[in-house]
Structure formats: C-alpha cells, structure tokens
Amino acid sequence: MPADKCEEWNRRIPRKGQLTTKHYVCDLHFEPHFMIKSDDFTINGKAVSIPRDRWALTPNAVPTLFPNLPQYLSKHVANRRVLKRHISAVDNDDPASKLKASEAPKTARVNVCNESGSSVSPVSQVNVEHCYASVTCSRLKVKGMQKHNVTYLKRRIHRQSERIRHLTSVVRKLERDNKTLKQQLQQYERLPEKMKTITSQAAQNSAAKSKAGHRYSDDWIVDSLLIRCKSSSAYRMLRDGSYLPLPSLSTLSRSIRSLRPEFGFNPNLFESLSNKLAAVNVNERRGILMFDEVQISKNVEFRIDTCKIVGMVDFGDLTSDEQQSTEGDHALVFMFQPHLSGWIQTVGCFCSAGTTQAITLSQLLLKCIILLQNSGAFVDAVVCDGAATNRSALAQLGFDGSLNSLSNKMMNPCDASRNVFFFCDMPHLLKTMRNNLLRAKQFQVQAFKYFFKCNAVVLSCSCFYHCSSVVSC
C-alpha cells in the first residue's frame, strides 16, 4: 500500500482495524481505469500495447468495489485523467496526432491557468468541438452521479427510518419491562425479612447447576437448625416436598461441627450483644439472668486445630489442677432474657463434674453480671432453682432467707444506685412442694410475709428453713 494513501484507503475500506504500508489490497476492489495492465507506445505511427507481468495502480487509485458487502458500500469514482489525456495528446510528438489536430475544422489556442488566473504555459491547438463533446459527456456523467447519489440517499433514509421505528418499539418494550420489574421489586420490599431470606435463598439455589452446588447463608443455616430442633419429621417433609430451600442433614451436621463451641464466656458473643443492644431502647435492655445445671454424657475429645482436650472440667481461670484431669458430666448454663422482648440469649456455659461448688458458682455469677452490664444490658434479678449449692452461692452474694434478717438482693457491682434481686424458680418451688406432699403426707408452714419495695413484690417462704405449724393432707 502506498504510504501517502494509508489515511484515505482506511477511510474508504469498511473493515475493523487500521491498514499499514505492509498490507495488500486485492485488484477486485479497484475499478478498471485505476489499473495499469499494459504499457502503451506509438511506434512508426502505430499504437503498440505490451501487457505487463506485474500490474500497477494509477497515482489517484482508491479501492471502491466491495462485491461481498452491501451495494451501497461500493462507490463509483470518475476517472480524473480523461480531460488530461485529450490535452496531452496534442502535445505529443507523434506526427499523426499533429496532422489530425491541424486538419480539425475549428481550432483555438488554449492557455492553462492556475488558481489566481495568471497564464502558466501556452497549449497547442486543441479541437474545440472535441473538448466541447468531452465537457458535455462529463456533465452527463455528473448528472448521472447526482441521480445515483439521490437514489442512494433515499434508500439510506428509508433504512434509517425503519431502524428508528424498530428501536422505538424496543425502547417501549424495555420501558414496560422496567415498570413491571419496579412493581415486583416493591412487592418484594414489602415482604417480611424471613420471607426475603427464603426468596433469595430459593433464587440462589435455582441458579445452581446441581443440588450439590447449593450454597446457604449463615442466617439461613441457623434458621434451618431451629426448624430441625422443633421437629425432624416436619423438616424432612418441608425439604423433600420442596416447600422451603432447606439444606440436607449432612450439611447441618457439618455446620454444627464447624461451630467449634468452647466452654466459658465468649468475648465475641458479648461484642455482638453490645452491638445489638446499642440500637435498642433502654427499657428493652432490662432483663433477668438465669442459670441452671444440666446433666450431660461424658465425652472427651482432642481437637487437632487447637491442640486442646475438650470434655474435662472447665471453669476457665477458676479451674483447679485436680479438676483439669476430671471428666465432666454436668453443664452450667447462664442465660439472659429481657422483660419486654421475646428473645433469650445463652451467654456462657461451663463443664463441671457433679454440682458446681458454691464459691465457684458465686464468682461465675458475679462475672457474668459484670459482662452483661458492660455490654449495655441491665440485670435486674437472678433466677435459679432452690438447690443447696445455689442457695449457698447466693448467700455469699448477700441472700438471707431467715425471718429475722430477710435479704433477697445485693448491690449491682457496676451501679451502686441499683440492686440485683434473687428469685426462686416457681416451677421448681411447686415441684418441691409436690414431692414433699407425696413423700411425707404432711408438712409445716409459716405465714407468708409480703414486702413492697422498689415497685417489686418480694415473696419469702420460710418452709425451707424452719417450721412453726403442721398441716396434714
């Protein structure tokens, strides 16, 4: 490709990318008058044409033919050398051409002028009629080209109009779809949070290629565990019937194993609790701390990831050397429940062998109250059953059930202006009374005393400590 034609050829050739001087263009894309296929000579008044082994292009050659593309991309370019050939034929040294020019009936002398109008060089006699015919022919070609261009423009305008109508219909369809999607989004935003979780989880599972490729969020795993704890048969029915996008039981088992629960007070739990209570009203932060012991099976496990043995007695820093080598069979659990909210949160769990000692229990209880207060919760009372170790632990914190020195509260360790009250668990109290009636058939009671203080009714029953009268049943 000629170096001086790169820009013009790039503009005319409909292709992606830029052409360089190293590229080649096929001869099918050039009009015949742009091709030099032979060398023409005049020898002894005879025209001689010698075919060229290697074709060449005229200086003003441009690619205009593209047979494999739409027709409007091929644009005809008139030969600009037609008039020049007629003029240069007169200046040729060939005697036959001079004789032909001299025999012309009408001749004139023509000067070639530059743009400013000044004469540059004189030209020999030119056949005026021949030039007039050439000009007339050129005008006819120009008129034909103009007619061709008008037709081309009309076709192009028609195509563009059709395209505009098509794009207009597409835009209207997209506007309708957009309106429908906005309505669906508004309906989705009005759904409850749990319903949104179910919908998003179902959409995520439908996009998976196989059932093994399902992925579940942490919140949905926890909700699935709660459903599984309520009823295993209901869980299987909801999952097998595709009512809910529930994970398999093996997935739940893996999730439980990955939790890696530890004994003690978890700092991450209290940090999350603090973030939750920061956006809660002050009255909704007030609640009761409950603790109880449950019997568990002995199971000692060595965890490779932490290099710790789990299943031994574990009270944190309060564990003695002797207890560290003893297998645990009880779990001491602390729970916090607000007065005005429906949620309950387990805040700590410890492993013990038998019942927990009173001194250890009182220290853990005091530490739990301090951690809850620092997290933004307000502990108003402590609830437990009437076990001997629990009474002893509360006695170390200030509880006294005797009639002469009745005390069922202690000062809040984090706020001296507030108190923490002690309550006995009513179901355990009724169970104890029932067992006494069934076993002894009679029991001694003392008159109940009511104390009103701080808008709280404190009920003290002395039947656990001394008797004053006998009641038979």
pLDDT in tens, 411-447: 999 988 999 999 888 888 888 888 888 887 766 666 5
**Cα–Cα distance, 385 to 198 (Å, whole number):** 40
Give yes or no for residue 86 having a pLDDT over 50.
no
Tokens for 26?
């096929």
pLDDT in tens, 130-188: 444 444 454 555 555 555 677 888 888 988 999 999 999 999 999 999 999 999 888 88
- Return the percentage of the chain with pLDDT > 70, whole number: 76
Average pLDDT over residues 395-410: 86
pLDDT for the residue numbered 145: 56
Give yes or no for residue 104 having a pLDDT over 50.
no
Report in angstroms the alpha-carbon separations of 254 from 219, 225, 404.
15, 12, 57
pLDDT for the residue numbered 213: 67
- Confidence label for 201 from pLDDT (cuts 50, 70 and 90): confident
Tokens for 350?
């410890």
Give yes or no for residue 120 having a pLDDT over 80.
no
Write the DSSP assignment of 131-195 as a string of letters: HHHHHHHHHHHHHHHHHHHHHHHHHHHHHHHHHHHHHHHHHHHHHHHHHHHHHHHHHHHTS-HHH
Let me know: does 322 contact 405? Beta carbons within 8 Å.
no
Answer whether 0.85 is exceeded by the pTM. no
**Cα–Cα distance, 40 to 89 (Å, whole number):** 13
**Cα–Cα distance, 60 to 55 (Å, whole number):** 15
**Cα–Cα distance, 293 to 388 (Å, whole number):** 13
Let me know: does 315 contact 355? Beta carbons within 8 Å.
no
Give yes or no for residue 101 having a pLDDT over 70.
no
**Cα–Cα distance, 326 to 298 (Å, whole number):** 10
Give yes or no for residue 106 having a pLDDT over 50.
no
Q: What is the dihedral of CA 308, 310, 315, 316, to 10 degrees?
A: 20
Tokens for 382?
């402590």
